[in-house]
Amino acid sequence: MTTNRFSPVADDDLPVPEDALPRPARVPKSLCPPTSPFHTQRGKAALDRVMAQLPEDALAAMIQRYKAADPDYPFGPLEWINAAKHTTCCAAMAASLADFGLRVVDTHSMYDSGRSTGRSCKLARAKGWQIRAERNPEKVTRFYIPEKGDTYPPTADGIEYPVAWIRAPRGVGIATGDGIVVLDEDGPGGRASLARLQERNGKLPETAMQKTGRLDGGRQYFLRVTPDVAVPNSAGRMGEGLDARGQGGFAMCGPSIHPTLNFYEWLLTPMEVGIAIAPDWLIALMLAASKKSTGRGSDKVAKSAAVPAWVREMHTAAMAERAETDWPSGIEGKLSLLGDGEGKRGFNDVLFQAALSWFAREGIKADKGELLGLLRAAIKAAPKGPGRDVSRYFGGPEDDLHRQINRAHDYAVENF
């Protein structure tokens, strides 16, 4: 059984990535296992991209910081792409994003074995990350290269755990809110929803944007709002596959690794093009999509003197538009809308919302197998229009139903 000395978990039961690179002759299998998510064509491309995107000398300076703190830090030969090299690139990007003015935090990642360092590689490290998120590049660097005695914020029990050691793999994330929002476009449904909104309201301005690691494609657009507008987090409430990250939210960013073994990829970094002001129509729609912007909560947004008049006016219009897509409570209520025909709302968006309700009710550690069986039974019983093919929901771990469940679980993990 092969093990990786940077991970206590065996890797023999993990699949070998289809784009794995040959193991360098000078590197033992224990340090470069065949299941490595970094020693791949995707891993090499991710490092090549970030080296081209980082400010001049930023990566070289970070490498020197690592070597000064840990002379034996496992960089290894050039042809070996490992978690250490990837983490160093993430650290350099994190410091650069903080220097730009964004609130940055280190995240979980993956070991060279392919195992996640935490419950998910899409999570910030430790509770209290909202407190830890920093704009100071030097403090951000210490997230990656900690000093003796550094601790995470105290837990609810008052315990202060030491910061993970320097060799623990890390990614990079951006805390949203405080004037920064992220529009998250997930898969074909998200692309179609955003295209319809832009056709109706106008195109988004050029702004920092990235590809996520989703197998069916995904993009995130980083935008600014004025400090007097607090945009909440929402999922699928602006349209199928469209999420918002605002106050208290968080977005993984390039070159972090995704659970699919793809990498987040900046298409336009904030340092290249800046972060544009969100258009009025999008801000109003994000406010209308909030869980709190229904019923009396909606009335508060519409009447609050703290909200600019133009937002109140557009919010009223957006709420009228949203009334057609508001959701009943609970998984049963949402599944009552599954299917084709009058009073129904199709499949993908309903399945996502139903899964979200399941995790809200049962908890994020609930049995996904039970949820899978429940949703498959609902799909079989739902009315289907001519030409509706539901076989894509019954194809195994990579089918559309698993994607909707995993998407809902990821959102629940980050926000519930």
* Residue 395 and residue 271 share a domain: no
209 belongs to a structural domain = yes
Do 303 and 348 sit in the same domain of this protein? Answer: no
Residue 355 sits in the same domain as residue 375: yes
Residue 200 lies in a domain: yes
CA gap 104, 174 in Å, rounded: 5
Helix (H) or strand (E) holding 174: strand 171-175
pLDDT above 70: residue 311 = no
In a domain, 7, yes or no: no
- Can you say whether the dihedral through the CA atoms of 181, 187, 193, 194 is positive or negative? positive
Last residue of a domain, one of 291, 325, 359: 325
Here the contacts of 332-341 (C-beta below 8 Å, separation 24 or greater) are 333/357, 335/375, 335/378, 338/378, 338/379, 338/382, 339/382, 339/383, 339/384, 340/382, 340/383, 340/384, 340/385, 340/388, 341/383, 341/385
The residue with greater pLDDT, 224 or 302, is 224
25 belongs to a structural domain: no
Distance CA 333, CA 254 (A): 38
Q: Is 19 helix (H, G, I), strand (E, B) or coil?
A: coil
The pTM of the full predicted model, rounded to 2 decimals, is 0.74
Q: Are residues 109 and 244 in the same domain?
A: no
Q: What would the pLDDT profile of 219-277 be if each residue is shown by its tens digit?
A: 999 999 987 788 888 888 788 889 999 988 999 999 999 999 999 999 999 999 999 99
353 SS3 class: helix
Please identify which residue in the block is written with the tokens 């980082």.
54
215 & 306 share domain: yes
Domain end (from 135, 150, 165):
150
Do 358 and 262 share a domain, yes or no? no
CB 186 within 8 A of CB 214: yes
**Does residue 218 lie in a domain region?**
yes
Integer-rounded Cα Rg, in Å, for the chain is 22
Q: What is the pLDDT of residue 414?
A: 66
Is pLDDT at 5 greater than 70 in this prediction? Answer: no
Q: For residue 162, tell me if it sits in a domain.
A: no
Average pLDDT of the residues in 333-353: 87
Place of tokens 């949703």: 375
Cα 152 from Cα 348, distance rounded (Å)? 39
Give 87-146 pLDDT, tens digit per residue: 999 999 999 999 999 999 999 999 999 999 988 899 999 888 888 999 999 999 999 999
Confidence of residue 296 (pLDDT cuts 50, 70, 90): very low
Are 345 and 292 in a shared domain? Answer: no
**Residue 25 pLDDT > 50, yes or no?**
yes
133: three-class secondary structure by DSSP: coil
Residues 118 and 240 both lie in one domain: no
Amino acid sitting at position 396: G
Instruction: Assess whether pLDDT exceeds 60 at residue 343.
Output: yes
Tokens of 45: 């491309």
pLDDT score at 293:
40
DSSP strand pairing (104-107 vs 218-224): unpaired
Residue 359 neighbours by CB distance under 10 Å: 22
What's the farthest any 2 CA atoms get from each other in the chain? Answer: 68
Contact 350, 337 (CB under 8 A): yes
Give the residue among 253, 95, 84, 265 at the shortest CA–CA distance from 180: 253
Residue 140 included in any domain:
yes
- Tell me which of 150, 165, 187 is where a domain ends: 150
- Give the residue, 387 or 50, on which the prediction is more confident: 50
- pLDDT tier at 364 (50, 70, 90 boundaries)? confident
User: In terms of domains, do 293 and 381 share one?
Assistant: no
DSSP secondary structure of 180-207: EEEEEEEHHHHHHHHHHHHHHH-PPPS-
Do residues 181 and 315 both lie within one domain?
A: yes
Going by pLDDT thresholds of 50, 70 and 90, the confidence category of residue 76 is: confident
- Asked whether residue 19 is assigned to any structural domain, the reply reads no
Write the pLDDT tens digit of every residue in 321-332. Answer: 544 456 777 888
pLDDT band at 165 (very low <50, low <70, confident <90, very high): very high
Q: What is the pLDDT of residues 199-213, one digit of tens each?
A: 988 999 999 999 999
On whether both 186 and 317 belong to a single domain, the answer is yes
Annotate 84-121 with DSSP letters as a single string.
HHHHHHHHHHHHHHHHHT--EEEE--B-TTS-BSSS-T
The residue segments making up the domain with residue 399 are: 330-415
Domain count for the chain, please give it: 3
Q: What is the pLDDT of residue 395?
A: 85
How many helices (H) and strands (E) would you count in the chain? 14, 10
Question: Which pLDDT tens digit goes with each residue over 139-164?
Answer: 999 999 999 999 998 888 888 899 99
336 in the same domain as 319: no
Pairing of strands 104-107, 171-175: antiparallel
